[in-house]
Structure 1
Amino acid sequence: MAVVNRSAPPCGVIPVVAYPDVDAAVTWLQAAFGLRVRLRIASHRVQMWHGKACVIVGEQGPDKQWGTKSSTMLRVEDVDAVCARAREHGASVTHEPQTHMYGERQATLEDFAGHRWTLTQTVEDVDPAAWGGEAVEL
């Protein structure tokens, strides 16, 4: 039986994004993408939810653990709506919403601190072989 720790996000993959101001980042992520706070750790770290997915917001700086920025893919129900919402909150859209041959509708944005976010929405179940992919472990 696996051990469950209520202090740790239950997600298998947990992106960590570094910001110079954690509180400002949390406020922006809530407003722009609809993320919810799961757990706060002092003023330097916040675990957040998006559906069943997790992300950690950490403090950025030369003496902090997360000194670099990152890119994160966020699964949403409506790419166009979330893209518009994020744009209203100051995100710059680097790739407008587009439906790809692999069955995902995606848009890429940059937030107020320069982080890249790719919004993705499944619109069709496509066999990876149909577009040149190779299914290894699905």
Structure 2
Amino acid sequence: MTFTEVIPYLYYPDADAALDWLERVLGFGPSTRWRMGGAQTKEADIHVGDSRVSVSGRAPAADEGGGALLIVHVDDIRAHYERVRAAEPTAAGDPPSKQPYGPTTFTVIDPWGYRWNFWEGEADPP
């Protein structure tokens, strides 16, 4: 058996607001939205480079993994930090910093509580 990819599936009570925020602030996209006959998005995919994240338009249940941390590799961490800061200054948090385990990182917590950790470089094994 060969694994080919992992697709995170995140729950947002308002998928349209979340997708708009992810596109505007983090620079993700484009997104594909399925409204299923209603006015609001029920299911969606949003591109993050060559990867994608699936989104559900409902609040998560208590047992559906609220402690997620999503790591996104970028090729220019400082440029991405400045992009986030320009789009939404309060979302940017602390500037990128070199970690003792290798990469340079910064974290954004979206308005729904998901932690997006941006990395430049790889972790160095101990």
The reply to whether TM is greater than 0.5 is yes
Give SS of 1:32's match. Answer: helix
Change (3 A) 1:112 1:88: farther
- Three-state SS of the structure 2 residue aligned to 1:85 is helix
| 1:16 shift after superposition | 1.9
Q: Specify the alignment match of 2:15 in structure 1.
A: 22
Residue deviations 1:52-86 (CA, integer Å, cap 9, x gap): 121112223267x9684632111112222222222
Question: Residues of 1 paired with 2:50 and 2:32: CA distance?
Answer: 14
Which digits, 9 at most, give the CA deviation of each residue in 1:8-31, with x for residues without a partner?
xxx611112222211111111111
Counterpart contact for 1:18–1:69, Cα < 8 Å: no
Pair member with larger Rg: 1
- TM superposition score normalised by structure 1: 0.68
TM-score, L = length of structure 2: 0.73
| 2:85 aligned to which of 69, 84, 87 | 87
Q: Which residue of structure 2 lines up, in the alignment, with residue 111 of structure 1?
A: 110
Matching residue within 31, 42, 45 for 1:44: 42
- 5+ residue gaps, structure 1: 3-10, 133-138
Number of residues of Structure 1 aligned to a counterpart in Structure 2:
119
Structure 2: segments with no counterpart, 5+ residues: 36-40
* Residue identity (%): 28
Query: Deviating runs (4+, > 6 A) in structure 1?
Result: none
